[in-house]
Structure 1
Amino acid sequence: MRHFVFRDIPPVGGGVANVFVHGYSAGHDLDDRYKLVGTLPRQIPGSINIFAFWDSGHILKLSGLEKAVLTRVTWSNPFIGLGVFTASRIKHFISMRSRAEQAGEALLAELDSYLVTRFPYVDRVNLIGHSLGGRLLIYALRKLITEREYDCLKVDNVLLMAAAADVTDYEVEAFVRRVDGDIYHAYSRNDDILKLNLGENAIGGRNVKGLISVEMTHENGKGFGHMDYWPNLGKVLKDSGILNRMLHAPYEISVTETWASLVDDLGHEDFICKDILLYRLLIETDKSLLDGLKDILIIECSDSSPTGLALAITDKVQTLAGNALGNIYRGHGVSYVVALESVALERLPASEVNKCVTVTELETLIVKQACPQPNIFYNFEVTELVSFVKWYINIGAPSTANQHSPWGRLFAGGKRMYSKIFPNQLLGALLIIAYARNRLNCPFTS
């Protein structure tokens, strides 16, 4: 059984791979994976950025049995229900802690296999891990020192960020001797979440002798929290000292420009315009495609300019995909990433959906279901594409008969008030959006 899904982040090039590993309850859906990738440096000259995703669970995702038990107990006594929920999550974290250990022992072997296939010229790696991802790296280093014949990959530098694990003085000495470069340790005494790592004195909250330890603080002097590392990854790389080693040159501020800083516009107040994966794509695409989307989504828009249509289409997609009651509470719909994954989970096996890291991977799965030969799909002319999509959502979609039935429409409308149900119009819109993205060849999402 493989423990990791590796994704290299463009642009790629160089003989060194910088491998990033997330922690507990992270990378659990496409939106979270997309945000994690967005924190990475856009490019570090001479190296490749790779994210190693592993199944770290999610603190709020309960099994069917757990939900049933918790519901019954909570109805009878809310305080007991809270206790049961807490105990369940502690048990879940402990199981994920064990999973991180198993994944850590398999990391270098699986990474080597991936690099041989994708980047055979890469023979050195820098490892960066956060929280349980740091624990995972520690177990990878333990494997490295116990199996000394394992030399297929050279581990250059290591950065442990808020590592949820303990190490002995002997292990620290052995780790330092075994790696070719240095081991950096970013920690914070203000990290209260690590106190929940029961039974261990996690190094993420303290200095460790023998490692290059740096206590993280914000510019205003405020201490780092456990969730501050990824959003401030450029600062962590710089302050810890590992960035200079990765660059093999003095620190340059331009290198810490992230993908998120290039593609996100967090200063914009309009939720629609913030949806860069959809709104900005639509602004740049063909007017004929926008007209096709407007027709399929049944949008009445007085402003027929590309900007006006892009706003209206983005708003309609977000609203259709979002839970009706949730939309009222939020005051808007959901982002394209959330909409895309939700539709995919309605139509495709979760095992396939959960392997996707980029939007184009997920869009491709949906396209393949609609048209088993994607090369034909993407070679359609715009008029042919729109005709095909209209045919597919009106005739080919499995739920068509139910949609046309009065009782089916009534049931669907009622269901959508409390859960997510995706009309065929939304599916058709996603197919056209995938077609538009393919034509524009958007580099970040590819």
Structure 2
Amino acid sequence: MQHQWDEMHRTRKPTFVLCGEPQGDVLNLYVHGYSAFFNRQQLGSFKAQLAGIEGSTNLMLFWPAGHFLENLFAPFKDVLGAMLSGGNLGAATVGVGKAIAYFLDHYKSVEARVDEVARSLLPELASYLHGESLEVRRINLIGHSLGARILVKSLLASPETARELPLDNLLLMGGAICTSSPWDEVSAPLKGRVINCHSSKDWALAMKPDTERCIGRYAIPVTPALKAKVTNVHLATFDHAAYWPQLQTVVQYTDLLHERRGMIRSDQRSSEVRFAEEDAELFPALVQARPEELKFLAELMAQKRSASIDATVREPLKLAIELQRMGGDTFMNLARGHGVSYRQIAEDVVQRLGIKFDGLLDSVELADLEAQVAEKLIEQYKDKLSNADRQVFDAQLKAAAQKEQGLFSRFDVGRSATTALSGTALAGLTGFILRRGAATAIPVVGQAVAAAMLLVSGVRAFSGPAYSITTLAVLVIGLIRQRMEREAMSQEMDLVVQVVEAFDLPRETVMRTVASD
């Protein structure tokens, strides 16, 4: 890794980095975007992450994408020091203005290299495969941000080489390229599809220094001629930095390696499978879930006599389908061919628990719905615990609160442990239940919730939603989502620490400033 880092920065020439040992005859080529690696350690961590994608040979194009921290703080170290130590606003404004100007110039200089890298990419890939004697049957191209632009332009720059290579799918994540690109020409040499992962929460692309309407924020316009070749995947919860940390989720969600009948071959899916896989607020979270979380959900849903799964199931797709079924009315499920979305499940649980919001329910953030459900159930749950269990539970909540306070907490630190739901009470409740096991936890909470439902709505129809099941499921899905958010925040904090150490900034002051944002 040391040699590859030094060689690329010395020659400024892209180089291929093999990530792990070759695994079969399917090759994934990953192309990173702007400002991907600040040091060799970050590059090494990324290489190790790619090596973990099983079922394929994983190759990365390491190209001179720079990093926005390069020489950014050094010229303004005194200004930053003065600003963090209470210096005057004028000095801080000048420093920020210079930093922004530097960033724009730096980004433009990196962007200017894209065409050069793209022109040589496919011919050099063919040469590399021949030189390394790597025989591949399919090649998937995966690019993020400017890496997506490089891949698109490489297909346009070398159409003949593209046709000679066994190119399968082109996966674009947060792509920094215009939606009006010639997608018919881009998709022509592919045996598979162009898969565009986009998100309206990608604010990095919204602030890109031009007026380009990027595919990372918007869907590619699909004409009748492109319908069989282009798939848009809306990852509603993703920001620009979410793709690499959740790469395994994206690869499985888009069925890049043809491991299941997934989004790429949509015509082969049943309506139930399609509905589950396209539930962006449920299926990606289950794909990212930990083994104990999947185990809890399986045991939870298997308690219902009408369940179509047993407690041993761990497949995210099967669990998603079953939860959606339990969230809907049996007869309505049969009529429409599938259950209901996770969003509707969460809203139904909120209504049944009598939770009120100021505005319309459909305008409330999903995370807020999950948090309020957790708060309500914590009250019910604690009332049902023995004194000994209540002490253990309170200790778990306090430990979770102490772990989170001071680092990107979205809640006031003065709030009690039972209401600070940014991964605190939510993690405490579900973590406590998970450790006890679903078999012992469900009777306690399930009966409490069922009793509450009877008080609210009278005797339920036998075909109605399984609220005692879906209520706890909302807790667990909320836990998974909050954990993913905290892990992403932790990575941001790691970057802050690296900057502090690299430029010898006042550590405690910087940390207090970051934590208060």
TM-score normalised to the size of structure 1?
Answer: 0.50
Q: 1:53 aligns with which of 33, 42, 62?
A: 62
Post-superposition shift, 1:204? 0.2
Aligned equivalent of 1:205: 217
Paired residue type of 2:97:
G
CA contact (8 A) 1:74 1:80 kept: no
Q: 1:88 aligns with which of 93, 96, 102?
A: 102
Post-superposition shift, 1:12? 1.2
Q: Which structure 2 segments of 5+ residues have no match?
A: 1-10, 83-89, 223-229, 264-282, 292-399, 404-500, 510-517
Cα distance in 1 for partners of 2:165, 2:113 equals 23
Cα distance in 1 for partners of 2:49, 2:287 equals 9
Cα distance in 2 for partners of 1:106, 1:232 equals 29
CA contact (8 A) 2:255 2:262 kept: no
Q: Confirm or deny that 1:162 pairs with 2:171.
A: no
Cα distance in 2 for partners of 1:3, 1:208 equals 31
Cα distance in 2 for partners of 1:324, 1:160 equals 34
Identity rate of aligned residues, in percent? 27
Cα distance in 2 for partners of 1:73, 1:79 equals 10
Post-superposition shift, 1:3? 3.0
Cα distance in 2 for partners of 1:323, 1:209 equals 44
Q: What are the Cα deviations for residues 387-433 of structure 1, in whole angstroms up to 9, with x where unaligned?
A: xxxxxxxxxxxxxxxxxxxxxxxxxxxxxxxxxxxxxxxxxxxxxxx
Cα distance in 2 for partners of 1:89, 1:323 equals 18
Q: What are the Cα deviations for residues 367-386 of structure 1, in whole angstroms up to 9, with x where unaligned?
A: xxxxxxxxxxxxxxxxxxxx
Q: Confirm or deny that 1:240 pairs with 2:244.
A: no
Query: SS of the residue aligned with 2:170?
Result: strand
Cα distance in 2 for partners of 1:7, 1:62 equals 26
Q: 1:62 aligns with which of 52, 56, 71?
A: 71
Query: SS of the residue aligned with 2:50?
Result: coil
Query: SS of the residue aligned with 2:167?
Result: strand
Cα distance in 1 for partners of 2:168, 2:122 equals 13
Query: SS of the residue aligned with 2:158?
Result: helix
Q: What are the Cα deviations for residues 179-215 of structure 1, in whole angstroms up to 9, with x where unaligned?
A: 2211101010011011122221111001112321101
Q: Confirm or deny that 1:182 pairs with 2:201.
A: no
Paired residue type of 1:178:
P
Higher relative contact order (CA 8 A, sep 6+): 1
Post-superposition shift, 1:158? 0.7
Post-superposition shift, 1:25? 0.8
Aligned equivalent of 1:105: 119
Q: Confirm or deny that 1:192 pairs with 2:206.
A: no
Paired residue type of 1:189:
S
Query: SS of the residue aligned with 1:112?
Result: helix
Cα distance in 1 for partners of 2:150, 2:185 equals 17
Paired residue type of 2:235:
M
Cα distance in 2 for partners of 1:163, 1:235 equals 17
Aligned equivalent of 1:428: none
Q: Which has the larger radius of gyration?
A: 2
Q: Pick closer, same or farther for the CA change 1:323–1:25 going to 2, 3 Å.
A: closer
Cα distance in 2 for partners of 1:158, 1:150 equals 12
Q: Pick closer, same or farther for the CA change 1:29–1:102 going to 2, 3 Å.
A: same
Post-superposition shift, 1:172? 0.7
Post-superposition shift, 1:125? 1.7
Query: SS of the residue aligned with 2:116?
Result: helix
CA contact (8 A) 1:3 1:106 kept: no
Aligned equivalent of 2:242: 228
Cα distance in 1 for partners of 2:502, 2:76 equals 26
What aligned pairs does 1:281-360 form with structure 2 within 5 A after superposition?
none
Post-superposition shift, 1:257? 10
Aligned equivalent of 1:131: 145
Cα distance in 1 for partners of 2:18, 2:104 equals 33
What aligned pairs does 1:247-286 form with structure 2 within 5 A after superposition?
247=259
Aligned equivalent of 1:79: 93
Q: What are the Cα deviations for residues 46-89 of structure 1, in whole angstroms up to 9, with x where unaligned?
A: x31112111111111128xx955886899883312211110111
Count residues with an aligned counterpart: 255
Q: Confirm or deny that 1:8 pairs with 2:22.
A: no
Query: SS of the residue aligned with 1:193?
Result: helix
Q: Pick closer, same or farther for the CA change 1:243–1:90 going to 2, 3 Å.
A: same
Q: What are the Cα deviations for residues 336-377 of structure 1, in whole angstroms up to 9, with x where unaligned?
A: xxxxxxxxxxxxxxxxxxxxxxxxxxxxxxxxxxxxxxxxxx
Q: What are the Cα deviations for residues 153-185 of structure 1, in whole angstroms up to 9, with x where unaligned?
A: 23211100000111425x111112222211101
Query: SS of the residue aligned with 1:165?
Result: coil
Q: Which structure 1 segments of 5+ residues have no match?
A: 218-222, 262-266, 270-321, 331-446
Q: Pick closer, same or farther for the CA change 1:80–1:213 going to 2, 3 Å.
A: same
Post-superposition shift, 1:249? 6.8
Cα distance in 1 for partners of 2:52, 2:29 equals 14
What aligned pairs does 1:434-445 form with structure 2 within 5 A after superposition?
none
Post-superposition shift, 1:98? 1.4
Cα distance in 2 for partners of 1:328, 1:194 equals 30
Q: Pick closer, same or farther for the CA change 1:234–1:60 going to 2, 3 Å.
A: same
Q: What are the Cα deviations for residues 209-265 of structure 1, in whole angstroms up to 9, with x where unaligned?
A: 232110113xxxxx2111111111111112234242xx47779x9xx999xx9xxxx
Post-superposition shift, 1:27? 2.6
Post-superposition shift, 1:111? 1.6
Post-superposition shift, 1:150? 5.5
Cα distance in 2 for partners of 1:326, 1:88 equals 20
CA contact (8 A) 2:74 2:503 kept: no
Aligned equivalent of 1:37: 47
Post-superposition shift, 1:95? 1.1
Paired residue type of 1:206:
Y
Query: SS of the residue aligned with 1:203?
Result: coil
* Superposed CA RMSD: 3.7
Aligned equivalent of 1:371: none
Cα distance in 2 for partners of 1:13, 1:201 equals 37
Cα distance in 2 for partners of 1:234, 1:143 equals 30
Cα distance in 2 for partners of 1:202, 1:324 equals 34
